[in-house]
């Protein structure tokens, strides 16, 4: 019996069909069935499909077919296709899938450009041969614009296909300038495929700028939902000081033989809570990953992807397009900063027809978010009731505070995590319903297990009486690292002697001046500014007046010349002058 791939109107090549069978992709998903024939027939497409719907194969299969069917053999350094992806993890994942196909197509070579290495190293890879580039926008722009050892701009003249994967995320991350720069180097006569999970105004502008009369494809499993059908979306209401203990209890109840992804709002929260959760759950492997981890990121991602069970604690850097098999639960510890990120986080589970579960932790003050997500993203959330024991709450608080007292580095991380969380919350996209002023910041600090309330503007004038800290002198907490501790002791001694904490950087001392001098200087600045404005205004008026005068003169001269010409024509008509005289007067 033929597979759906073999039943396509345009027959696929044997290497592609054999690889699809090897990867056990026998049937096409709706987005693949819609996009592949259009791309093969030379159409530009803009496709919107729910996360986990198989968009990667929807562009890789036609890409390989288009490049193989060119009659002229591809040169060593002639680029036929470029795939641009927002994150290095997603670019690497695409590159790995592409490599499986290219094992059977030796005439085509691909290069992955994602940063983390020098431009020269990437240039050396390109010199060995390249027909397909998989890249992040920043690195590709850098090589096109700044790499002098290789002229990549001259290698893209035969470009057949450009793919923008997770295009909405490319724009969310601020890559629009890089994309404009990249597009300026590429030939206009090419096919372009734009794939995303959500549509935005910026995306519509990109479609108009980069695509020629594109076919718009919207593939949803049901018209009224934006997440996969097999995904069970849930939420739970918790107290701020109980949030961690409720999550730990939940993981205990579900078991350690599963894969969990825990999404947090900031990098500092990932750094801190990953160490706490490792201590509280020693029986399961706990990994941490966020955008500020440059060199380690892919190694951690790959280990978790290949593991049978474990917990990955991460930021939204892992929310888009990443395909990790058999993630059983996505736990959203905080509401994400944008509504679309909610859908993408959930989409790390229930991929390509598999079943999955997602759970969102909300405070009592955040319950309006449930209705917001239902209206904005068409996602129905089901409430889970769960109580946590007082013993678990005490155990979590004790664990957090004990770790901080053992190593000052964890104490620093706890404070940074709390400060970053509060600052991120105050800038939330949904700040009309998720308001910082509604949260009891004292209880929130207890949920972070702080030893003391940090000094920050957001706490000014706030009631934090619900915070109960241990009776300890935080200056006595030492760093486990001896070198770091000796450096701190040195600074602390100077502070105790001088009353000023020594800075790491020598700042230029600002000269102090009296209030009257400051006011005098301010008035002088204002006077100079007003004089400049007056001078500029006068200059503009003079310029306008001279322009009008010049225009008037030109008009008068034209009219005078026209009158003379009419008089000559009348004389010639009445035969008062000869034709020779008329021609001479007109300069003929």
CATH number, domain containing residue 307: 3.40.50.300
Residue 529 lies inside a defined structural domain of this protein: no
The pLDDT of residue 224 is above 70: no
| 8-state DSSP, 475 | G
pTM of the shown model: 0.65
pLDDT at 508: 46
How far is Cα 474 from Cα 495, in angstroms, rounded to an integer?
A: 15
The pLDDT of residue 357 is above 70: yes
How far is Cα 311 from Cα 328, in angstroms, rounded to an integer?
A: 10
Last residue of a domain, one of 418, 448, 478: 448
What tokens does 577 get?
A: 């002058």
pLDDT digits (tens, 9 = 90+) for 413-470: 999 999 999 999 998 888 888 999 999 999 999 999 999 999 999 898 889 999 999 9
Are 163 and 257 in a shared domain?
A: no
Are 191 and 246 in a shared domain?
A: no
Are 322 and 363 in a shared domain?
A: yes
Please tell me the total count of domains within the chain.
Answer: 2
To which residue do tokens 């004038």 refer?
A: 461
Confidence of residue 201 (pLDDT cuts 50, 70, 90): low
The CA-atom distances, in angstroms, between 330 and each of 17, 247, 586 are 34, 12, 88
Are 309 and 366 in a shared domain?
A: yes
The pLDDT of residue 261 is above 90: yes
Who's near 588: CB < 8 A, 6+ residues apart? none
Residue 532 lies inside a defined structural domain of this protein: no
Beta bridge partners of 261: 312, 330
Q: Which residue has the higher pLDDT, 340 or 139?
A: 139
Residue 503 lies inside a defined structural domain of this protein: no
Average pLDDT over residues 312-332: 82
Are 110 and 143 in a shared domain?
A: yes
pLDDT digits (tens, 9 = 90+) for 264-296: 999 999 999 999 999 999 999 999 998 888 767
Residue 97 lies inside a defined structural domain of this protein: yes
| Cβ atoms < 10 Å from Cβ of 491 | 13
pLDDT digits (tens, 9 = 90+) for 50-86: 666 788 999 999 999 999 999 899 999 999 999 999 8
Are 259 and 205 in a shared domain?
A: no
Helix (H, G, I), strand (E, B) or coil at 191: strand
| Cβ atoms < 10 Å from Cβ of 84 | 24
Are 250 and 301 in a shared domain?
A: yes
Among 247-256, 288-297, 488-497, 506-515, the range with the most confident prediction by mean pLDDT is 247-256
pLDDT at 177: 84
pLDDT digits (tens, 9 = 90+) for 77-104: 999 999 999 888 889 989 999 999 999 9
Are 57 and 97 in a shared domain?
A: yes
Residue 408 lies inside a defined structural domain of this protein: yes
Range of 87's domain? 3-219
Residue 139 lies inside a defined structural domain of this protein: yes
Measure CA 283 to chain center: 33
Confidence of residue 510 (pLDDT cuts 50, 70, 90): very low
Are 266 and 394 in a shared domain?
A: yes
Residue 491 lies inside a defined structural domain of this protein: no
Q: CB of 288 within 8 A of CB of 314?
A: yes
pLDDT digits (tens, 9 = 90+) for 134-184: 999 999 999 998 888 888 989 999 999 999 998 877 776 677 888 888 988
Are 297 and 194 in a shared domain?
A: no
Last residue of a domain, one of 433, 448, 463: 448
Q: Which residue has the higher pLDDT, 406 or 574?
A: 406
Q: Which residue has the higher pLDDT, 561 or 392?
A: 392
Give the rounded percent of residues in the chain with a pLDDT score beyond 90.
44
Are 17 and 128 in a shared domain?
A: yes
| 8-state DSSP, 326 | T
* Beta strands in 350-458, from DSSP E residues, in sequence order: 356-363, 382-383
Q: CB of 170 within 8 A of CB of 140?
A: no
To which residue do tokens 């058999």 refer?
A: 326
* Beta strands in 328-470, from DSSP E residues, in sequence order: 329-332, 356-363, 382-383
pLDDT at 452: 94
pLDDT at 240: 94
Residue 579 lies inside a defined structural domain of this protein: no
What tokens does 490 get?
A: 């040195």
Last residue of a domain, one of 190, 219, 248: 219
Who's near 396: CB < 8 A, 6+ residues apart? 244, 245, 248, 276, 280, 449
Sheet containing strand 382-383, strands side by side:
286-289, 310-314, 259-263, 329-332, 356-363, 231-238, 382-383
Confidence of residue 534 (pLDDT cuts 50, 70, 90): confident
Helix (H, G, I), strand (E, B) or coil at 347: coil
pLDDT at 509: 47
Are 186 and 295 in a shared domain?
A: no
* Beta strands in 136-212, from DSSP E residues, in sequence order: 161-164, 191-196
What tokens does 9 get?
A: 């109107």
């Amino acid at each position: 019996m033929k597979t759906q791939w073999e039943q396509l109107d345009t027959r696929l090549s044997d290497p592609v069909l054999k690889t699809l069978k090897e990867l056990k992709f026998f049937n096409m998903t709706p987005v693949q069935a819609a996009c592949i024939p259009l791309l093969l027939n030379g159409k530009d497409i803009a496709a919107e499909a729910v996360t986990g719907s198989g968009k990667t194969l929807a562009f890789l299969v036609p890409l390989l077919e288009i490049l193989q069917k060119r009659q002229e053999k591809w040169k060593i350094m002639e680029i036929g296709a470029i795939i641009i992806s927002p994150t290095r993890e997603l670019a690497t994942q695409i590159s790995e899938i592409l490599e499986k196909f290219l094992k059977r197509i030796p005439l085509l070579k691909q290069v992955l450009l994602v940063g983390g290495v020098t431009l020269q190293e990437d240039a050396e890879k390109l010199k060995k041969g390249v027909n397909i580039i998989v890249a992040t926008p920043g690195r590709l722009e850098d090589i096109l614009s700044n790499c002098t050892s290789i002229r990549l701009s001259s290698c893209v003249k035969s470009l057949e296909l450009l793919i923008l994967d997770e295009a909405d995320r490319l724009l969310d991350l601020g890559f629009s300038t890089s994309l404009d720069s990249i597009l300026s180097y590429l030939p206009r006569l090419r096919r372009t495929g734009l794939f995303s999970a959500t549509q935005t105004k910026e995306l519509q502008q990109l479609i108009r700028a980069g695509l020629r009369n594109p076919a718009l494809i919207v593939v949803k499993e049901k018209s009224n939902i934006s997440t996969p059908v097999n995904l069970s979306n849930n939420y739970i209401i918790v107290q701020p000081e109980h949030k961690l203990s409720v999550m730990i209890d939940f993981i205990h109840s579900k078991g350690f033989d599963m894969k969990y992804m825990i999404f947090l709002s900031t990098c500092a929260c990932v750094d801190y809570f990953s160490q706490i959760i490792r201590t509280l759950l020693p029986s399961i492997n706990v990994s941490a990953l966020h955008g500020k981890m440059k060199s380690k990121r892919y190694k951690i991602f790959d280990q978790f992807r290949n593991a049978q069970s474990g917990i990955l604690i991460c930021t939204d850097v892992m929310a888009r397009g990443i395909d990790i098999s058999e993630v059983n639960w996505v736990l959203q510890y905080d509401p994400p900063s944008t509504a679309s990120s909610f859908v993408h986080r959930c989409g790390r589970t229930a991929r390509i027809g598999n079943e999955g579960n997602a759970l969102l932790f909300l405070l009592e003050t955040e319950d309006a978010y449930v209705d917001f997500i239902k209206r904005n993203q068409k996602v129905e959330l089901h409430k889970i009731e769960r109580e946590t024991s007082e013993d678990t709450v005490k155990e979590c608080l004790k664990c957090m505070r004990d770790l901080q007292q053992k190593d000052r580095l964890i104490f620093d991380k706890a404070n940074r995590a709390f400060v970053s969380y509060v600052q991120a919350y105050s800038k939330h996209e949904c700040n009309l319903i998720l308001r910082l002023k509604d949260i009891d910041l004292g209880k929130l600090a207890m949920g972070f297990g702080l030893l003391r309330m940090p000094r920050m503007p957001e706490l000014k004038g706030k009631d934090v009486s619900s915070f109960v800290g241990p009776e300890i002198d935080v200056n006595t907490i030492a760093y486990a690292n001896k070198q770091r501790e000796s450096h701190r002791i040195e600074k602390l001694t100077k502070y105790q002697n001088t009353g000023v904490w020594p800075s790491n950087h020598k700042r230029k001392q600002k000269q102090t001046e009296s209030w009257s001098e400051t006011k005098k200087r301010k008035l002088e600045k204002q006077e100079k500014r007003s004089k400049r404005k007056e001078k500029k205004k006068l200059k503009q008026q003079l310029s306008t007046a001279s322009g009008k005068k010049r225009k008037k003169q030109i008009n008068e001269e034209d009219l005078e010349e026209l009158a003379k010409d009419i008089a000559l024509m009348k004389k010639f008509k009445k035969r008062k002058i000869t034709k020779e005289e008329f021609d001479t007067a007109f300069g003929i």
